[in-house]
Structure 1
Amino acid sequence: MKIFNKITDMKAEIKKLKSEGKSVGFVPTMGFLHEGHMSLVRESVSNNDVTVTSIFVNPTQFGPTEDLAAYPRDFERDCAMLDKNGADIIFHPEPSEIYGEGFCTKVELSGITEVLCGISRPVHFAGVATVVTKLFNIVNPDRAYFGSKDYQQLQVIRRMVKDLNMDVEVVGMPIIREADGLAMSSRNVYLGAPERRSALALSGSFKVVEDLLKQGVTDSKTIKEKIAEFILSHPHTRIDYIETVHPESLVSVDSAEADFVVALAVYVGKARLIDNRYFEVNHA
């Protein structure tokens, strides 16, 4: 497994691989990897000649009061996991390598980035879109793999790739959960034992939605109120948002008359956790 820190070295390696006719799969990450990331790596390994994983804690997607400095990091452990799961290349640049002196360009979407996480994290998606554009330009992947736990991010990347005619296939992968249902996240490390139990309220709330739909409840306001009641019945929880949205545009829907996504952001202790579930509506 090769490790590159410099853009010029990474691009030279990709140019060589492409000249040999090799297909390139890409898994962009911020490190502190877990089984969710590994599911993306294994999918890439099975569908491409070469798999590149980036490990880069991107400063431009963190707001001034967010956890950039505290974000968990363990590069040696990450390397061992990636090697075990078949990754071929790690791209691990410093922030100064990605954002050189005088850097003043950003990629910014409208609409789809101004809802859900975009409300409480207004700089986040411009940071994501900019760094992913740069990484795509550096790695030049045929396919790029993203987990659907970050559902809004996945839709933002898909929209950006479509709008800017980028020649990369964006592959969305299912959420990987712990045995008890908690969505895997690097930020789960922030949870103490009591908070860890309360964090199950996020995935547990989807059963609340299932039961309401079975009862014939389709009013989104009612669905969101019942989710809020359930989550707040658990200690250490504070709701950022609960939304029912269109699966692609992420526009809020008033009624569950067609397929929709329930998207959640909840503070459990100091950890801000997100989760979502796609609900198929069958009126047959």
Structure 2
Amino acid sequence: MSGTTSELDLEVPLIALNVSVRKKLGLYLNIKHTVAADWMDVAQAMGFDYLEIQNYETCENPTKAVLKDWAARKEATVAKLLSILDEKDRKDILEDLRPQIVEDVRKYKENLEKKSEPPVQVPEVDSCVPKTPERVGITVEDDPEGAPEMFDAFICYCQSDFQFVHEMIRELEQTQYKLKLCVFDRDVLPGSCVWTITSELIERRCKRMVVVISDEYLESDACDFQTKFALSLCPGARSKRLIPVIYKPMSKQFPSILRFLTVCDYTRPCTQAWFWVRLAKALSLP
């Protein structure tokens, strides 16, 4: 990359960039130039195809939409973004925004270091036990005085797909796989705040999340929240934390927020025999 390179390692996920930097990138790239590269050129360099770019053109802020979707890809790093801008000869953007970008990366790394530091403990404090009352005794087998109940996967589904969830329970829990699934209607005790409990289960109690995709899923606010929350915990899908599943044909478009993840498809007769084996293996990973 040409120009002065900061000593700070910029190979960090794109989520390190704050709103201010993204807004300024939009101010630069949203304007179509006859000479300088704009957002379309950058999107093409990021790997988006013609139809995707045409769809982004309908957005009020196409640069913002492109950055948001690109962030879900494993190659989406701050260093890669700067490399693309350099390749497209947008030195003006690099010179203006580099100091802010470097500062965003520095803060991002500081926050990561703080999160990785072990908490200060005293003998009577047990970090395995949830500290707030609303997070204690939230599932059927929870022991309020002991360790919380843990699961292999949280199942994100809407009520119309519950029959398939029953089949999932039979195939993954009651067979040789012996997986432990978190099914909200079966495992969660009533009376608690739905959003608080859901975030607690997805983030702290479940290793992964299976998303049952259907037309009805696309209309569910609860499924939308659960999916976006899980994605925020694993930017770029680095930990394979979220696994989309399709079990019946759809008339609506597959959710764009998940299109960069490998799908487990039950609707294809030629691969249906491998469906449960693949899904069980993915959920059994450390």
TM-score higher than 0.5 here?
A: no
Structure ID, larger Rg:
2
Q: Which TM-score band applies after superposition, normalised by the shorter structure?
A: under 0.3
Give the number of the structure whose residues are more often strand, by fraction. 1
Give the number of the structure whose residues are more often helix, by fraction. 2
